[in-house]
A = this chain, B = another copy of it.
Amino acid sequence: MDFNNNQPIYLQIVDFICEKILLSVWKQEEKIPSVRELAVQLSVNPNTVARSYDFLRSQEIITDKRGIGYFISSNSMQQAKQYRKNLFIEQELPLLFRTLNMLDITPDELDKLLIKYKRKLQHEK
């Protein structure tokens, strides 16, 4: 994992974990790496991971058990999707809108392109 400069590292880690949850790589009630462990894996300061975990807990995506570790919360899927969707709407949607406008791609054409891509993926399977 390498970090870009546009967004704080701790939020990039939050995203990284949200994806793990949304793609069911990390499942409900499962223990996740300890603060120190993940910090070593990602080559960042433990405080930075702690900040990510603190943020995820405030969003009720993970829960902590003192002296034991952090766990994916039972309603993580819903919470993570909610958080990530807001991010999409606030950050990615404007960029997409700008690109579509610049390239004169109508919503209708975008739909067709998405369907085409989906078929292509299925064809490759």
Q: Quickly give the copy total for this chain.
A: 4
- A interface, size bucket: 20 to 34
Query: Assuming the A-B contacts A4-B4, A58-B58, A88-B105, are A93 and B114 also in contact, with contact meaning beta carbons closer than 8 angstroms in the complex?
Result: yes
Q: Is A16 an interface residue (CB 8 A)?
A: no
Alpha-carbon gap, A100 to B102, bound state (A): 21
From the candidates B89, B94, B99, B118, name the one contacting A97 in the complex (CB within 8 A): B118
B111–A107 CB distance below 8 A? yes
Q: Is A68 an interface residue (CB 8 A)?
A: no
Alpha-carbon gap, A111 to B8, bound state (A): 29
Interface of A is mostly: helix
In the complex, which residues of chain B have a beta carbon less than 8 angstroms from the beta carbon of A22? 102-103
Per-residue B-contact encoding for A83-97, CB less than 8 Å = 1, 0 else: 011001100111011
In the complex, which residues of chain B have a beta carbon less than 8 angstroms from the beta carbon of A115? 107
A81–B103 CB distance below 8 A? yes
Smallest CB separation, A82 vs chain B (Å):
9
Sorted nearest first, the 7 A-B pairs with minimum C-beta distance are: A107-B111, A22-B102, A85-B103, A97-B117, A93-B117, A107-B114, A84-B103
